[in-house]
Amino acid sequence: MRKMLSTRQRLTFFIAGLVLIAISLACGFGASAPGNQSAAPAPTFAQPSSGLSTSTPVPSIEKLMPEATQSAAAIPVAPPAIPEYRRLTLEFPPQIRVGDSDIIRLTLEVNTLGNVTPTAVIEGNKVTGGVVQIPNLYDTHNVIAEARLDLAGPDVRPTDAIDEPLLPGQSVTFFWSVHPVSAGTYRGTVWLSLIFVDKVSEAESRLAVAAQPIAIEATNFFGLSGGAARTFGGIGSAIGAILGFPFATDILKWLWDRVRHKES
C-alpha cells in the first residue's frame, strides 16, 4: 500500500509539473504577442538647423539674410564718375640756331576741338596732339598736373618738374625755354602725370598720362653763333636796301665817273 501510494504521489507530482510547465509556456507566448505588448515612448531626434518642414511655408530671402546684410544692401551706391576727356597739345620748334633760345609749350585743355588737329601758336613750330582720358575725381580729390622735360644737351629752364592745379573745365599750360650751345640734333621726352590728393586723408596717388618724344635740331651759319649770324644778316639787309633804292645804280655810276675823272 505504501509502495502504491508512493507511485501515485510520483505520478501526481509528475502531472502537476507538466501542468505547471504548460501554464508557464502559455503565459510566455501571451506576453510576447504584439497585441498584448505595452507601447513604449518613441525616441526623439533633433532636426538639422537648415532643414525646412514641408508643412510650413518657406520663408522669403529677406528673412534668411542677416540684418547687417540687409542694411548694407539697402544703402544706395553712388554711380561711377564719368571720365573727363581733354586734349593734350605739344608745340616745339624743329630747329633752333645755336646761341638762340626758343619755347616748348604743353597744353592740357578741355576737348572742345573734337578731332580737329590744333594749329601752332608760333609759325613754323611742330605740333602734336591727342585726346586723353582723366578720372573725374574733383569732388573727392585735389588734382595736380605735373609736367617734366627731359632733353640732354641744350640748356633747359626750368630743369625740375612743373606742378599746376587742375580744375574742372579749366586748362593748364607749361612752358620751357631751350637754349642750345652747340650744333646737333637733340632728342628728348615731355612727361605728363596727374597727382590725386584725397581731401580727407591727404593720401596721394599718381597716374601717368603721356610721354611725348621731341627732336630739335640746333643749326649754325658757317660755324657762327646766332648773334654773329644776325649781325651779318643785318649788314646784308642794309646793302640790299641801298641797292634796291630808286636811282641807286645811277648814283653809284656817277660817283664812279667822278673818281675816274679826277684820276685822269
The candidate with the shortest Cα–Cα distance to 90, out of 102, 101, 104, 103, is 104
Q: Say how many domains are in the chain.
A: 1
Mean pLDDT computed over 139-158: 95
Is the per-residue pLDDT at 143 higher than 90?
A: yes
Which pLDDT band, with edges at 50, 70 and 90, does 114 fall under?
low
- Per-residue pLDDT of 14-69, as tens digits, reads 676 666 666 665 555 444 444 444 443 443 333 333 333 334 444 443 443 444 33
DSSP track, 232-244? HHHHHHHHHHHHT
Does a structural domain hold residue 61? no
Does a structural domain hold residue 138? yes
| Alpha-carbon distances, residue 164 vs 61, 87, 111, 203 (angstroms) | 53, 16, 18, 18
CATH (domain of 185): 2.60.40.10
Does a structural domain hold residue 155? yes
pLDDT for the residue numbered 178: 96
Does a structural domain hold residue 194? yes
pLDDT for the residue numbered 120: 82
Percent of the chain at pLDDT > 90 equals 41
Which is more confident, 182 or 226? Answer: 182
Does a structural domain hold residue 152? yes
Is the per-residue pLDDT at 115 higher than 50?
A: yes
Does a structural domain hold residue 56? no
Mean pLDDT computed over 176-181: 95
Domain range holding 127?
Answer: 84-219
Does a structural domain hold residue 241? no
Which pLDDT band, with edges at 50, 70 and 90, does 213 fall under?
very high
The candidate with the shortest Cα–Cα distance to 224, out of 84, 118, 107, 99, is 99
Does a structural domain hold residue 112? yes
